[in-house]
Structure 1
Amino acid sequence: MAVMKFGGTSVGTASAMRRAMAIVADVKKKKSAPLVVLSACSGMTNLLIEIAGAAGEGRLGDALAMAEEVRLHHLSIAGELVKDPVRSAALQEKIEGYVNELEMLVKGVDIVGELTARSFDTFCSFGELLSTTVFSEAMLDAGHACSWVDARSVMITDDNFGTARPLEGRCEENVHSVIKPLLDAGTIVVTQGFIGASADGKTTTMGRGGSDFTAALLGAWLPSDQIQIWTDVDGVMTCDPRIVPQARSIRVLTFSEAAELAYLGAKVLHPDTIAPAVKQNIPVYVLNSLHPDAKGTVITNDPDILDGMSYGGLVKSIAVKKGQCIVNFRSNRMLGRHGFLIEFFNVFARAGVSVEMISTSEVSVSLTVSDTAAVDGLVRELAGMGEVELEHNVATVSVVGDNLRMSRGVAGRIFSALKDVNIRMISQGASEINVGFVVEEREVPKAVENLHHEFFSHDDTRGIFETPAGK
């Protein structure tokens, strides 16, 4: 049994929903009835956030005008997908009901003059409630056995609005009593990602990546044999295709490789969101709803899936994180003094600044951080401990692949490919699957292009990577 999660671009329009419906129907035909988890239509969550902000600022007219956009968008999709007159009328009534609730919430916040975290979560929930309502009715109209389930009746969370976490024991019981019987009966189940409800019934949201997190949790609780994440790209790419148009789709990644890429700035599933799948070793497939026949990427630790796809320790992907700066710190007080680095890094903790990459010697430390306003305060405090120098407009470039550190010749190939690039800092050894370095932002395209040519233009990569569909 598969859990299928569709992102906003995969359900953002009538044509996108129609493609997603065909994919779901095909899975049911080949395997069994899937559990479908949907995000809000593309752009809808951002619009709802704007509505919440306008209501909280007392801009009632603006908020209601944007609420009308929400209404018209979903009525338009419903009108294209659902043709049965009775079902169409019932669906329009459901859409009107949700948007009327939204408008009432706008007016309530405007009267009170305060936007609370609880109200904000309620605003954000309407996107998923509307997208799933339209999708499930369209599936029924197309003749498929389908059931809409309110995630708030299953996903019971704590009351940390905006970053809620599920009460797993209760949620798993709900999944087995509410969702599993429907799936076992051959009914497609459609539910919402991202949202849940506190124990006392208040709507909550689970933050960034909440829909992926929902899919992974539900997949682990059922349990499922695979989790499919449908998006608008052909899986995880060898590098950013905006930098290198010849970038390819990676066929297979281990969970550790996927986590490393996410932390290092690549557009890939965040490891926290698929942690439940990792725990149960459920393979996660990243697929393209625009090109459903493309193989996409499978993220797994399953040796049976990985078998035959070993690539000799070579590179899987190249990740880039821009908007960084290097902090170069030097102090003779570091030499032989126990505890100095504790004091040093406490400065970063107090400033709320996260360190990205680090390299040390006996009397100096070089590291990268996001280049934000917080850096100025950081430098002022560090100046009392030693000499501080900043280098702005730099980016981290990370080469990721399984067991890189133990693969002979890989480091040589990396730095040979970068012979005409000015490397400002190198970090290697902390991870077996990552070699990282820092270059000036203007040299990122050259660095990535050279590395991609070195590692992905040879015959030894066949079978591991796939040219994206349509190219």
Structure 2
Amino acid sequence: MAVMKFGGTSVGTAKAMRQAISIVAREEQKAVPLVVLSACSGITNKLVHIADASGRSALDEAMALAGEVRSFHLNLLDELIKGVELKAELAIKIEELASRLELLIKGVDIVGELTERSRDMFCSFGELFSTTVFAAAMKELGHKAVWVDVRTVMITDDNFGFARPLQEVCEERVGRLIKPLLEGGMTVVTQGYIGSTQDGRTTTLGRGGSDFSAALLGSWLNDDAIQIWTDVDGVMTCDPRMVPEARSIRVMTFSEAAELAYLGAKVLHPDTIAPAVQKNIPVYVLNSLHPDAKGTIITNDPQRLSGMSYEGLVKSIAVKKGQCIINVRSNRMFGRHGFMNELFDVFARYGVSVEMIATSEVSVSLTVDDKCFSDELIGALKALGDVDIEHGVSTISVVGDNLRMSRGVAGRIFSALKDVNLRMISQGASEINVGFVVEEPEVVTAVNNLHREFFSGPQNEGIFETPAGSR
């Protein structure tokens, strides 16, 4: 049995939903799946705008956007559902959801304050709309499908905006409420991204949390596989928007995938990997536009990895834009303990996550998201030493098997970058990652040079695959 998660672009139009249903039908021939959906592409962003407009009492703007959300799903319904009675029944459900959204807008407008709890409620509507339409379309096509509100099983803490599931409660409810439906031959359609506190208040797991939802549900059901259906052929050797020759990676380890996710790869949410690792459930990253493409398998299974991975192999190049370098220089560092603790205490106080770090005897260079930069943070750092900042940089990370111990790989990396000005280098903390920082105008040159060095030519056939759409 598999959990099948479909992202926003995979259910964003009537055509995309039909394609997704055909993929589910193919899986049903093997075993009844649990289907987890994101909101239709663009809807969550629109709901965020509705929430923001409500919070600043821009009632007309919020109501107009809500009308667009209603119209989008009614048009989707009209194109997807043919039966008159089912269409009328579903139209009522969509109107009910839209009316609840408008009621929430008016409530926030009257109070004059948008809380994180209210924001979560706004954002939950996208998945409720998409799954309602999808489940009805499956039923009309003759599938034994049942819609389940995930908030009855995904019970979380009350950290609105980034809620964490209550493991034991969730596992018990999944076993009691979802597992019997699957065992009875019903394909369950439910929502990703959202949950509920024990007293029934809607929460969200954070942007990208649908992948996390799918992985959690798969682990609680002890499934054979977790399928993440996107609009690309699995995890790529790098961003195809930067390098058109980017290739699909056939297989990679959980640690490689997690490293890529944290370093900026967009296919996977970082938390997705953890539940799968705990139960050693393989994660398949697949393309709903090209369902016959092999995609990527993420696993620690030695048999699957055998012959598909070898020491020193570069698997992918990850880029994280919008960074800045903060350099701190202080003679207090020399031969004295405790300085690094003081330094990172400053970042902790201001809630800033450090991405990459390099040190010498009297200086520390590190990168943070440029949006986290503030004058207050720099002021606190200046109490420790001289500080200067470099904006407009990106981190580039080369990820692969045991890179730190592989002779010649570092030489190839820096040879490929001989024409690029490296602002910072970080290696050693991870055996599977070599990272460096470049100015943003040089990112495309750096990534293309690295890709040519490690992925051009016929080597590594079977590990990398040309994307289906470019054949």
- Name the TM-score class by shorter chain: over 0.9
Give the stretch that moved more between structures: 80-89 or 398-407: 80-89
| Distance of 2:107 and 2:340 partners within structure 1 | 52
Q: Does 1:117 align with 2:97?
A: no
| Distance of 1:381 and 1:165 partners within structure 2 | 31
After superposition, give the CA deviation of every residue in 1:246-297 in whole Å (9 maximum; x if it has no partner): 0111111211111111221222313323311111111111111111111111
2:7 is aligned with what amino acid? Answer: G
| Partner residue in 1 for 2:358 | 359
After superposition, give the CA deviation of every residue in 1:130-186 in whole Å (9 maximum; x if it has no partner): 111110110010111111111112212222222222222222122112211111122
| Distance of 2:386 and 2:120 partners within structure 1 | 46
After superposition, give the CA deviation of every residue in 1:211-242 in whole Å (9 maximum; x if it has no partner): 11111111001111000011111111111112
Give the stretch that moved more between structures: 89-98 or 198-207: 198-207
Q: Secondary structure at the match of 1:245?
A: coil
| Distance of 1:80 and 1:274 partners within structure 2 | 36
Aligned-pair identity in percent equals 72
2:297 is aligned with what amino acid? Answer: V
| Distance of 1:77 and 1:325 partners within structure 2 | 43
Query: 1:64 touches 1:103 (CA, 8 Å); kept in 2?
Result: yes
Deviation at 1:377, TM superposition (A): 3.5
Query: 1:258 touches 1:268 (CA, 8 Å); kept in 2?
Result: no
Deviation at 1:245, TM superposition (A): 0.7
After TM superposition, the structure 1 = structure 2 runs for residues 136-155 of structure 1, keeping only pairs within 5 Å, are: 136-155=135-154
Give the stretch that moved more between structures: 180-189 or 113-122: 113-122
| Partner residue in 2 for 1:41 | 40
Query: 1:235 touches 1:287 (CA, 8 Å); kept in 2?
Result: yes
Q: Secondary structure at the match of 1:156?
A: coil
| Partner residue in 2 for 1:409 | 408
Query: 2:254 touches 2:273 (CA, 8 Å); kept in 1?
Result: no
Deviation at 1:372, TM superposition (A): 4.1
Query: 1:118 touches 1:161 (CA, 8 Å); kept in 2?
Result: yes
Deviation at 1:459, TM superposition (A): 2.3
| Partner residue in 1 for 2:261 | 262
Residues 382, 168 of structure 1: alpha-carbon distance in 2 compared, 3 angstrom cutoff: closer
Residues 46, 372 of structure 1: alpha-carbon distance in 2 compared, 3 angstrom cutoff: closer
User: Gapped runs of 5+ residues in structure 1?
Assistant: none
Aligned length: 470
Q: Secondary structure at the match of 1:273?
A: helix
When normalised by structure 2's length, the TM-score is: 0.96
| Distance of 2:153 and 2:80 partners within structure 1 | 28
| Partner residue in 2 for 1:76 | 75
Residues 108, 388 of structure 1: alpha-carbon distance in 2 compared, 3 angstrom cutoff: closer
| Partner residue in 2 for 1:349 | 348
1:21 is aligned with what amino acid? Answer: I
Query: 1:148 touches 1:189 (CA, 8 Å); kept in 2?
Result: yes
Residues 8, 271 of structure 1: alpha-carbon distance in 2 compared, 3 angstrom cutoff: same
Query: 1:194 touches 1:214 (CA, 8 Å); kept in 2?
Result: yes
Q: Does 1:57 align with 2:56?
A: yes
After TM superposition, the structure 1 = structure 2 runs for residues 42-441 of structure 1, keeping only pairs within 5 Å, are: 42-372=41-371, 374-441=373-440
1:25 is aligned with what amino acid? Answer: A
Q: Secondary structure at the match of 1:317?
A: strand
| Partner residue in 2 for 1:459 | 458
Q: Does 1:447 align with 2:446?
A: yes
Deviation at 1:364, TM superposition (A): 2.1
| Distance of 1:450 and 1:387 partners within structure 2 | 35
| Distance of 1:90 and 1:372 partners within structure 2 | 46
Q: Secondary structure at the match of 1:398?
A: strand
Q: Secondary structure at the match of 2:468?
A: coil
Give the stretch that moved more between structures: 367-376 or 154-163: 367-376
1:230 is aligned with what amino acid? Answer: W
After superposition, give the CA deviation of every residue in 1:380-433 in whole Å (9 maximum; x if it has no partner): 343343333333322221110011111111111111111222222211111100
| Partner residue in 2 for 1:10 | 10
Q: Secondary structure at the match of 2:469?
A: coil
Q: Secondary structure at the match of 1:173?
A: helix
Q: Secondary structure at the match of 1:400?
A: strand
After superposition, give the CA deviation of every residue in 1:325-355 in whole Å (9 maximum; x if it has no partner): 2223332332211222222332333333322
After superposition, give the CA deviation of every residue in 1:67-94 in whole Å (9 maximum; x if it has no partner): 2211111111111111111111111111
Q: Secondary structure at the match of 1:24?
A: helix
Residues 67, 326 of structure 1: alpha-carbon distance in 2 compared, 3 angstrom cutoff: closer
Query: 2:258 touches 2:273 (CA, 8 Å); kept in 1?
Result: no
Residues 308, 102 of structure 1: alpha-carbon distance in 2 compared, 3 angstrom cutoff: same
| Distance of 2:202 and 2:386 partners within structure 1 | 51
| Distance of 2:121 and 2:387 partners within structure 1 | 46
Give the stretch that moved more between structures: 50-59 or 461-470: 50-59
Deviation at 1:9, TM superposition (A): 0.8
Deviation at 1:18, TM superposition (A): 0.5
Residues 327, 158 of structure 1: alpha-carbon distance in 2 compared, 3 angstrom cutoff: closer
Query: 1:261 touches 1:268 (CA, 8 Å); kept in 2?
Result: no
| Partner residue in 1 for 2:20 | 20
Residues 55, 377 of structure 1: alpha-carbon distance in 2 compared, 3 angstrom cutoff: closer
Residues 344, 204 of structure 1: alpha-carbon distance in 2 compared, 3 angstrom cutoff: closer
2:318 is aligned with what amino acid? Answer: A
Q: Secondary structure at the match of 1:338?
A: coil
User: Gapped runs of 5+ residues in structure 2?
Assistant: none
After superposition, give the CA deviation of every residue in 1:352-384 in whole Å (9 maximum; x if it has no partner): 332222121222222222234735444434334
